Structures are given as structure tokens and as C-alpha cells.
Structure 1
Amino acid sequence: MNKPSKADNSFRLLFVCTGNTCRSPMAEVIARSEIKERGWDGFEVRSAGIGAFDGDIASGGALRAVVEHNLDLSGHRATLLTREVANWANLILVMSATHFMSVTELGAGEVSSLITSFADGREGGVMLESVPDPAGGTEEEYSETFELIRDLVDKVLQRIGPLGYR
């Protein structure tokens, strides 16, 4: 993992999916909420997509899934994953092996892991199952994806701890 510089002691966590309109924004808003609820300082959380169109809003299904849990994605705007965005992060958690390959191609493979692998304590190249993409799916599929991501983010934050995974 990239250690924060002495000038900037924050821990920077980046979630990555395909379009940055469903999975990674849900992970971002869940992580921000959980970090705030735990009273942890010094964290920054963002999300991006390997095929995102900058400025796209979150999908309707994602918006509705998070609202059910008193979270809000109405201000979210998609960000394309670039080398600059990847280099910003101390830890990049991706939703699928395809996303991991894209991050690696940008030179950030050392600080990235499939979210399911990291949550399970098996980062470092071990690829477990991907987080299903609910895009175009039913409300139930979005809700199930939200619940899965919430569980994964909880496990990730337990591993990172209040001082960041350093």
C-alpha cells in the first residue's frame, strides 16, 4: 500500500468499477458513512470507473438502493479512472478482475486488490469472485448488490482500522 506522505497524513481509498455509476459509488458512499460513524479522521474516499463518462450521474437503481439506507448519491458524478486518479490512492479496491487489470495497466497494481479478496484477507493477486454488476437489472438486484458491498466495505474497514492500512 502507498504510505501517505508526511505532508499529507490522510489515507486515500479508491473504489473502481466499470462506469462509476453503480457499484463503486455505492461503495464510496457506504465507506464515507461508516468512517464518519466510527469517528475516524484522516480518510479520503473516492470512486472511479475504467469506462466512465466524466460527469454521468449515478444510475437510478443505485440512487434508490442507497436512499433505502439513508444515504445519498444525488450529487455523485462519474470519474474516469486515469493514471492521476490511480496514483492519488493509498489503496484501490476493484469490483472485478477486469478492473484489476486496468488498474495494473496504469501502474497501480501494487496498491490494488479485488474488494472481495481484500475483505477476506487474501490480497496480493488472489482473485475471488467479482461483485456482480446490477446495471440494467431489477431493484432487487441493486438492493442485493448494495447489501454485498456494505458487508465487504465493513470487512475492509475492519482490516484498515482507524489509522489506515499502512
Structure 2
Amino acid sequence: AWPGSPASDGALLVALEHGLTLGEHRARQLSPELVASADLILTMGPHHLERAEALGGSGRSYLLTGFVGGKGRPVSDPFGGDLEVYRATYAELEREIAAIVEKVAERRPS
């Protein structure tokens, strides 16, 4: 996505199906400042991971699917796919994020 571009039509529609709105969303390019401000960086693919690490995120950057355990694998990018591809990616992200939230909550001091 180009900096400033809105969410794709497929993402907008699937978000609405789940009671979410992406109308105000705009893409931003990953920058050293964004990386420096993050405690944890989760990426959908290896190229994004490499970029986050190159910008100073080593030790805090993971593939989304690898944070909970294991090496991880890329999450499919639905861009350009039909609505079913967007729905499948949403379901995958929902599962992975739920596991991550649980893990982060376990690590958090009482």
C-alpha cells in the first residue's frame, strides 16, 4: 500500500461484517521512529519482518504466527483477492491475535 492510501474494498467489507470500521484507516510506511516507539512488532510476512529488524526492531519483531511459538509462517496477503480470500485472512488473523493476546496477558506482571 502507498502511504496515505485507505483500506482496500475487501478489507472494508469484511471489517463491516464483523462490526468494525476501517473508514479512517490510512497506510503508513514503517519508519525508524515507529519501530523505536514499539515494544513489540508483529508482521504478516518475512519481508516485513526483515524491514522491521533493519530499522532497529531486532529482538522485538516477530512473524505474527511465530510469536506464540515456533518459527512461524507468512499470513496470506488478501490484496487483489476476492471477498472469500479477505474472509479467510480475517479468520486467520483473528485466531493468531487471540493467541498472542493470551500470551501477552500471561507475561504481564500482576
TM-score (ref. length: structure 1): 0.62
Number of equivalenced pairs = 109
Report what 2:96 is aligned to.
152
Structure 1 gaps of 5+ residues are 1-18, 20-52
**2:49 pairs with one of 96, 100, 103:** 100
Aligned counterparts of 1:113 and 1:160: Cα–Cα separation in 2: 14
Taking structure 2 as the reference length, what is the TM-score of the superposition?
Answer: 0.92
Residue 25 of structure 2 corresponds to 76
Determine whether 1:118 maps to 2:67: yes
The answer on whether the counterparts of 1:86 and 1:103 sit within 8 Å (CA) in structure 2 is: yes
Q: Percent identity?
A: 33
One of 52, 60, 67 as aligned partner of 2:9: 60
The runs of at least 4 consecutive aligned structure 1 residues that moved more than 6 Å come to none
Mapped partners of 2:108, 2:38: distance in 1: 12
Aligned-partner residue type, residue 97 of structure 2: V
CA distance in 2, matches of 1:149, 1:139: 15
Q: What runs of 5+ residues in structure 2 fail to find an aligned partner?
A: none
Task: Report which stretch shifted further, 61-70 or 156-165.
Answer: 156-165
Alpha-carbon offset, residue 109 of structure 1: 1.7
User: Which of the residues 76, 85, 89 maps onto 2:38?
Assistant: 89
